[in-house]
Amino acid sequence: MKENLLEKVVSLCKRRGFIFQGSEIYGGLAGTWDYGPLGALLKRNVVDAWWKKFVSAREEIYALDSAIIMNPKVWEASGHVSSFSDPLESGERFNVMFKTSVGAGEEATDSYLRPETAQGMFVNFKNIIDSFHPSLPFGTAQIGKVFRNEIAPREFLFRAREFEQMEIEYFVRENEWEKHFEEWRKEMLDWTLSIGLSKDKINELEVPEEDRAHYSRRTIDFEYDFPFGRKELYGLAYRTDFDLRSHQNKSGVSLEYFDESSKERFIPHVIEPTFGLDRTILAILCESYTEDELGGEKRTFLKLVDDLAPVKVAVFPLLKNKLELVNKALEVHAFIKKSIPNTEFDDNGNIGKRYRRQDEIGTPYCITVDFETLENDTVTLRDRDTGKQERLKINELVSTL
């Protein structure tokens, strides 16, 4: 299955409304993808899980949502204008930032769509310390769109021209960077397991000096065994004080941190955990795609972690042409939906087809309302992975789920 796994995942995504080719009715636009109804829900669930783990659960992380278009001097200071490029076959360098214009006519200024979210956090460093007076170590976190004019976008979501990053800039004292680097390394590995990725498919690559970004003194790439090979999923970099110092020099504004206890002034160093959201989605889809036999029939299902599944529970009437069953199923659906919003009502096709459809989109549980329900208020609860069913009272459903 591994040989054509990516092809199967792409097909399922189109068929079931997870991900579509961008601008598809016009022949598409390479490197752009649209998330359909189920894909948007899956993405939102991943974002919520990441935010809960790395932002909400930590007192020292400050949320940020910076602008996509920034003063072009930002990109000069960061080194992107001079060095953010790919080689062409002719030997020339091609800067992969998307250019845009701000303003009109002679007043227009050349600028860029951001190629990373990091700089928005660095240029807001002073705002954070002036407004909140945090103690070191502390971090800023944001999730946002970035744009890179990739010469050859490929492998579905893996290399695209428009994608999203989930990123943290963690500000530390220089003499403590190694301790915090190791802490974040463990946190990132824990995250990969929490979203259902197999430990044996995650590989840590110590990036050699010649391959590191110009700002990095140490970088670890967390690679995943995609169907098309072992490729970078996430990155953890020690950026030193390069960015804050560069912006201080370019802007003329002090970006020093003042330590109240020691009365020292210094520029903090930075640990940067970076998570590609779209690559996360791709890894989750590849990991969870499963083919097996159930009841003597072949089936395809997504073995998603429950919290990430777009639909958590599906409720069926056994027969769609029996009004009393339909009405009871709608009643059960409304009851569960109050506590579990991502609950779906489904009466399309026979019961077997409904099970297969819900399996294919990764729904962990299905509930069937049948004639026995009308007698004693019990329903069948079916588990996606095993296909096993148990009989439960309706008033026990929410607590059980």
289-303 pLDDT, tens digit each: 999 998 888 999 999
pLDDT of res. 218: 95
- Percent of the chain with pLDDT strictly greater than 90: 89
Average pLDDT of the segment spanning 176-180 = 97
Average pLDDT of the segment spanning 250-259 = 96
In a domain, 243, yes or no: yes
Give the CATH number for residue 263: 3.30.930.10
In terms of domains, do 230 and 378 share one? no
In terms of domains, do 367 and 250 share one? no
pLDDT score of 380 more than 60: yes
Res. 214 pLDDT band, cuts 50 70 90: confident
Residue 97 near residue 80 (C-beta atoms within 8 A): yes
CA–CA gap between residue 250 and residue 243 (Å, rounded):
11
- Going by C-beta distance under 8 Å and a sequence separation of 6 or more, which residues neighbour residue 79? 214, 215, 246
The domain tally of the chain equals 2
pLDDT of res. 83: 81
pLDDT score of 1 more than 60: no
pLDDT of res. 360: 97
In terms of domains, do 207 and 355 share one? no
CA–CA gap between residue 28 and residue 331 (Å, rounded):
42
pTM to 2 decimals?
0.95
Three-state SS string over 352-373 comes to HHHHHHHHHCCCCEEEEECHHH
Place of tokens 């701000």: 102
pLDDT of res. 88: 78
Residue closest to 79 by CA, chosen among 237, 246, 251:
246
In terms of domains, do 275 and 353 share one? no
CA–CA gap between residue 81 and residue 25 (Å, rounded):
35
Give the CATH number for residue 359: 3.40.50.800
Average pLDDT of the segment spanning 102-122 = 93
pLDDT score of 3 more than 70: no
In a domain, 274, yes or no: yes
Q: Which domain holds residue 139?
A: 2-286
76-94 pLDDT, tens digit each: 999 998 888 777 787 787 8
pLDDT score of 158 more than 70: yes
In a domain, 292, yes or no: no
Mean pLDDT of the chain, nearest integer: 95
